[in-house]
Structure formats: structure tokens, C-alpha cells
Structure 1
Amino acid sequence: MLRKLLFWSLTVVFPFPLVQTYDSLSTDPGPLKFYVFLGLIAYTWWLLSIVLSVRPPWLHRFVGLPSIYGLHGMLGVLAIATAYMHREYSYSPSRLARDLGDWAFYGSLAILCFSVFFMSGWLVDRSRLLLKAKGLLEIVFRRQFSVWIHRLNLVVVAMIWLHAHLLARVNQYFAFMVLFDFYTVTALSIYVWKKWIAPDTYLMGSVISNEARGRSTRRVSVGLDRRAASLQPGDFFFLRFEGTSAVSGEWHPFSVTDADQKILTFTIRQHGDFTRRLDDVEVGTRARLEGPFGRFESIIQGRDSGAPLVFVGMGAGVAPLLSLAAAHHTSRRIHLLWAVRGPEDAYYRDVLEEYQTASGDRLQVTINVGRFRREDLAAALSAEAVAKGAFFIVGPNPAVLANQRLLRRIGVSARRIHQERLTM
């Protein structure tokens, strides 16, 4: 909790030097200066959201990717609100400066609305109707198109940067403008480095197998050129296939099924426009991997070793839980609950039976055809697990939210429920 509070304090700390510098130099009346502050705060929040979008590894290990994505999305909303106040209650004699400010505001508002619907789970994960509508619209607005729409935030930043440079009440203060440009250049440099230069340093490998598992799942194994030395159980990577027209060249997150640091195996449900075409990825295809990401293992290490662990997986969501079970089935009490669509989709049943045999009765496995209902969870879980257990949930976003609600209703504390949903 303390880490998350420190992380969220960036919303105050990050704009402060720029606001304080302008306040110390400007002689504008108080009300006008206040609305300039709002514009500066909105701009720094946009820059901070751009920095967070590159998923800094050190920050991920500190608070986790869900927190980074959460603040990224919230900053977009807060920036629109403060930019609206700045636009409505401040003025500029420069027509071009006003037009640039208006274009930037309406452009950022359009990008936010598009991103909230297509790239985050804030709405669609909580409404079946909206989820169905999104699925229909994605026939036109594919993920790759959505990613490029999201990158138009860089155009918005450029317009705001020029807007500020055209304002006489701002550009007359040299020290302030130097700091303003430093903020801008630093944020954009981090983005450019991470997106176009850093990938050359990422892990590389080749696809050594691509097999069907169940009705709509693929098991893809990638042999790495060098070991993934920092890989931990439960981690995931952002994966991109190189030099193939079979699938898009955008990054997609997938969890590792085991803890092998030389051959990474991914269990992938064929659901989106990218994953439906995984059948066409041939053995030998080169792959680039960003990561690893994940905090499940560090959370487990921080828990009481005597408290039970409860893993709840839906479909291919069992992948990271399988690697956690492999790492801890001989030393921790674990109950793994796996919801599958049909009996043929329980494709890791034999692996789990091997873990159970070797666990000395520490590992319990419950496989259910269809989603778990409240009565299923209440009957399967022991009183000790409900009262003291650490719960880890992985699966489609709506299913994760539904299972969280069910666990809360049977008495599981929210602070003992952990999940990593990968939407922005």
C-alpha cells in the first residue's frame, strides 16, 4: 500500500517544479496565474502518461503493471478535466496559440474516448452489451489501428508545446521555458528510446513449436538466444513476431507456462485479431520479447509460508498459475481451481496430476467445466483458505472481475486477492 501511495504521489510531485518556477517568475494576477497552473499541470500529466506507457521495468517491479496502467489511464482523464478549466477561463491574444490549444484539447478528448472504449477495460469489462459492441467494431478498428490512434498523443503534445511557445505571458521567462522544454524533451526521448531503440536490446528467439491445445488455444514455445535470467514463476512477456506477414508486428502480452529460462512456453487463447492468426506462425519464425513482467512471485515470497495459496485460472489463464504451482507445489499448500469450456480444454490435466503426486498432498486441483459460481467456490475452499489464503486470479478481464466479486462475497479480504489484468 505504501508503494502505491508513493507512486500515485507522482501526480503532485511531477508538475510541482514547473508550476513553482512559473509562480516565482510570473507577475500575472492571481486568478489568471491559477488557470495557467491548470494548463501546466495538464501538460505535465500528459507527459507523465507517455512515460508510463513505455512500461519502465524498474517501476513495474516496484508497484506492478496494473498500477502503472491505472495511473496512465487516470492521468488522461485528469488532464482533460484540468485542460478544460484552463481553456474556458484563460485567454490569449494570439489566434494561432488559441487554435493550437483548441485542436490539442479536442484531439486529446477524442483519443481518450477511443482509448477508454477500445484499449481499456473500464467500461467493456463491466457490460456484456458494450463488450459485444466492441467485438463488432474491432472488425474495422483492429488493435494495430487502435495503437496508432493512441500514439496521436504525441501530436497533441507537440501542439501544446507550440501553443506555450507562442504565449507572451509564458515565453518571456527564459528559465521557465528551459525547464518546460526539458520536461518535453526528456519525456519524448524516453518514449522514442523505448519504442524504437531499446527493442534491439530485448531478448530474441525462434519459434520451435506451435501446437493446438483444446478448441481455441495454442501452445507456442520460443527457444531463446540467451537465457531469461530474471524470469520468475508467474511472469509474462510482451511478444512480437519478426519478419512474418502472418500476424501484426505489434506487442502482445502472454504469460509463461513454466520456469524454463532457455525455452519459453506460452499458452495463448485465440480470441483477438492477433491471436486468431497464430496458427500461421511457422516454426523458425523469429520473435522479440520485452520483459519479464509480473509480481506474483514477489507477493508469494512476502506472504506467511504457512498460509495456503489459492490459484484461480480461467481457460488459458492457467498458464502463469501452472508455473507458480511448479515452483511451490513441494513446499506450499496450494489449491488450484481451473475453469475450462469443455473437458477437452483441460489440456494440462496430466501435468497437474504429476505435480499432485510429487507434492505430498500439498497440491489440490479442482477443474470445473464452465465458470465457478459462488456455491462452487464456497464448497471447494476451506475455511482456512477463505480466512488466511492469498488468492491469485488470471483469465479474461470480465471473468477476473466476476471472480473477485464472488470471492469477496464468501468472505475473502480484498487485500488478499491479486490479479494482473493487462489492459491500459
Structure 2
Amino acid sequence: MEIYRAKPATRKEMTQFHTDEYVDFLNRISPDNMDSYAKEQAKFNVGDDCPVFDGLFEYCSISAGGSMEGAARLSRNKTDIAINWAGGLHHAKKAEASGFCYINDIVLGILELLRYHDRVLYIDIDIHHGDGVEEAFYTTDRVMTVSFHKFGEYFPGTGDLKDIGLGKGRKYSLNVPLRDGITDSNYQSIFEPVIEHVMSWYKPSAVVLQSGSDSLSGDKLGCFNLSMRGHANCVSFVKKFNLPLLLLGGGGYTIRNVSRAWAYETGIAVGQELSPHLPITEYHDYFAPSHTLDVPASNMEDLNTKQYLFNLKAAIFENLRDIDFTPSVQLQPVPRMLHDDDDDHVLEDRDDPNSRRPQRLWDRNVQRDDEFSDSDGEGEGENASGIRGVRAKLNGDSNARRNEQSYASTQPVI
């Protein structure tokens, strides 16, 4: 596993999806001046479940930049799985914040993938419907969205089985509305056949999986009954298709369980079975009383009957059966590849001469508290845990994800 510090998304990158006015508003507003933007807050739905806080725009930039950089590395064959647990903010709209989400990093990441990939499959296992992503690609066949979520009188109130897309995107939005208390076995019984059917029919060349942890048992805002391993089974199943995979975070409001789930799923992504025994750290007490890497299911009632799930699968398969071919994509020029991230000499001339050790070299060192080092150069390979050091992105121009000519000439056709 390699850990990278992605460049925060720029205003220009954010406006590939979001409006200029909305992005500029997020950049300007702060707790100190928010009273002067009362009208704009109402217009952009900022203030209630999307509060203003110090560092809001920086937070949005970091989240979006991580997903975009992960997508870029997948497209350049630098990795087969990219993870951004700070991403997965699936409710944000083109010009509106929603459900704790301000900038839709998922849409921006998918747009990055579409520069190189013909078809992208988006899978959402957050308990809430992935409405922002579905809305963004509702009229295109280049992105298929599949959302497994709680439906009914529950935020955001969208994601009906009948919502299947419009125009060219008709049949390319797939919603799996579920009821309270779904268990591991019932979730698996619908997740695996649906995804397998979609994979064989749609034939995506890249996959984005939003792994929201609010579908875990015991979540403060959730009402499903998935264990940590039941939730992680979705990651394991999608990984088996051996497609470029962008793995993202999302919701999750019982924090100790979120950290458990995403740590365990990181292990699955890199092919490592993690020990159930948590190491002793300063955060050990947060995981009381069990102090183990586990989120067990509870004894809550599962309202998803076998008949309901059978009928649901039948309706979904019927929708897919109406279209019996893989959508084609118009040929277009392949964009220039970015500079190789491993070419250190590219950035040597750009290093600050007044800095004793530039940030890109500090990023290469990840040292455990219980280890000693005799040299500043140690840690540039693998550390004692087999994890490569955090590395800054080295794309020739350290302030650009791609050169301007390539950026302008490769806008995805959706």
C-alpha cells in the first residue's frame, strides 16, 4: 500500500460539475461573515444540515482532490485500487449543498475517469440514496448508477425503484430500495446477483464504490443491521471483478464503528486479513467496551421479507432485460499522460531553496512512534509494517493535475 498526499482540487476543477457562483460562495463564506450572506445561504442550502465552519473550502478541496487524484492514478495504470475515505459525499448537487455534503467529489472523480474509460459503474451502499450522483448522470449511458438504500420517509426521500433515468440515460439508473433491519445474508442475497448481472450486461471499464458506513448496525442515523463483515463483503465482491476500483467513504455517525469498518475494508482492498485485536494506542478507549475490530449485528427485526427481495430482484432484472447490448462510445483523442510521479528530478528545481527539507521529501517518511531512525533518508522505501511512505504527487507542475492543453482538450463527452 502506498499513501499519497493529493493536491487539493482547484476552483477550475470543481466547476467541471458545480456552478461558478456556488463554488465562489463556498470560497468566500466563513463563520465571521456568514450573516452577510443570508440570501446566498438560503439559495445554496447552506446553514442547517450543511453548516458553515472554518476551513470549509479547504475541506471541500481536500476531499475532492483525493477522489480526482485517485481516479487519475487509476486511469494512468498507477494502481488497481485507489482509496479516499474522506470522499463519498454523494448528496451535493450542481449548485446546492445537501446532507452534510458540499462538493460532490464522486462526480468529479467519475468525470476524471471518463476521460479514459468508456463506461463507469457507480455503486452506493450508504444507507441514504446517492441522489447527487444519480442526478448528475441521469441522462447519460456512460455512467450507470446503482444505489442500495433505505427508502420511504427517510432522507433524501428519493431512489424509487421506478426511477431509471431519462433520455439516453434511460435504464442506466438503478435503485434498490430496502426496508429497516436488513441483515448480512439478505443484503448479500440481493447485492451480489444485482451487481453480477450489471457487470455482465453493462461491462464497465472502471468502478466507483461509495462505502458509506451508516448502513452498519448501531449507526446513530441508520436503521440497517449489517455487521462489519457483512458490509465489507460488498467491497470484497466488487474487488473480485478485477476492474480499476475507486473506493470512497461516505456517511457514518457512530465514529468508532466507521473507523473499524474502513480499516477492515482497507485490509480487504490490499489483500490483508486484519487481526481482531486492536493495538494499544492513545485511542484505545474510544473502542470500549469490546476493544476489538468488529461491529456485530443486533437482534432488530428485518422487515425485508424473502418475497419482497425476490420481487425486487425480478423488477430490477426486468428493467435490465429491455436493453440487450453494451452502450457504445464515440471515439475521441486519448489525452496526454501526466508526468511520471516517480521522477524526482522533475521537481528538484522547484524546491524552495530556503527550506532545509522540502515537503515532498517529508511526505516520504512515515515512522512509527516505537521506531528509531538514524537518517533523514530512511523510510523512503517500505517501513516495518510494509507500508510505503506518504508521497506527494509529482506531476511535473506540482500545482496542476494535468497540463492546461490536455485539460482543455479532454472534457469527457457524456
Q: Normalization by structure 2: what TM-score?
A: 0.33
Structure ranking higher in strand proportion: 1
Which structure has the higher relative contact order (CA within 8 Å, separation 6+)? 2
Q: Normalization by structure 1: what TM-score?
A: 0.32
